[in-house]
């Protein structure tokens, strides 16, 4: 089942991230997909802040993976610059480190994503408006969506 959420402002996007964060659990994987400027990093910043992370969250475009300490560890990935998945990066290992993994441009590594995850596709409608299509894969993600969306 897909859930469609309309965001009319940055505050709506922040609230969505906070609502999803309120139901976080170890080994949670959130896969973000959307054009440049759609709000992927804004979503991640809001999620991180709700986790108690006060560091400045930036898109890890050149590092690919950044780790942050909070209520749970946050593993923030941006795989935009990966031409092909390199096994030595160990991306799948992060899915089992008992933290929360948020992946920007996740569709580029779809072949190594876990079967159980939360996919969030963000479509730009205009300068402020975004449509979030949220697809849960796995019972715990379906339960999360039913509770907060």
pLDDT at 89: 74
* Low pLDDT (below 50) residues in the chain: none
pLDDT at 63: 74
DSSP per residue, 9-72: SHHHHHHHHHHHHTT--TTEEEEEEE-TTSSHHHHHHHHHHHTT--SPP---TTTSEEEE-SSS
pLDDT at 61: 62
List the beta bridge partners of residue 65: 77
The model's pTM:
0.94
pLDDT at 104: 94
Q: Which two tokens stand for residue 28?
A: 């949670």
pLDDT at 64: 83
Q: Judging by DSSP bridges, how do beta strands 65-68 and 74-78 pair with one another?
A: antiparallel
Q: Which fold would CATH assign to domain 3-148?
A: Rossmann fold (3.40.50)
pLDDT at 87: 54
3-class DSSP state for residue 123?
strand
pLDDT at 83: 61
pLDDT at 57: 86
pLDDT at 26: 97
pLDDT at 68: 94
């Amino acid at each position: 089942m897909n859930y469609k959420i309309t965001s009319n402002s940055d505050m709506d996007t922040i609230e969505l991230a906070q609502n999803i964060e309120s139901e976080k659990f170890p080994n949670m994987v959130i896969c973000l997909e959307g054009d440049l400027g759609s709000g992927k990093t804004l979503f991640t910043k809001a999620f991180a802040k709700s986790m108690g992370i006060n560091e400045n969250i930036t898109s890890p475009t050149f590092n690919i993976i950044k780790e942050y300490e909070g209520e749970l560890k946050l593993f923030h990935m941006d795989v935009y610059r990966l031409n092909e998945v390199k096994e030595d990066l160990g991306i799948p290992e992060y899915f089992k480190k008992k933290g929360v993994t948020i992946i920007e441009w996740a569709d580029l590594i779809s072949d190594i994503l876990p079967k159980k995850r939360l996919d969030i596709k963000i479509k730009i409608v205009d300068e402020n408006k975004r449509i979030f299509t949220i697809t849960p894969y796995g019972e715990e993600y379906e339960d999360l969506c039913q509770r907060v969306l």
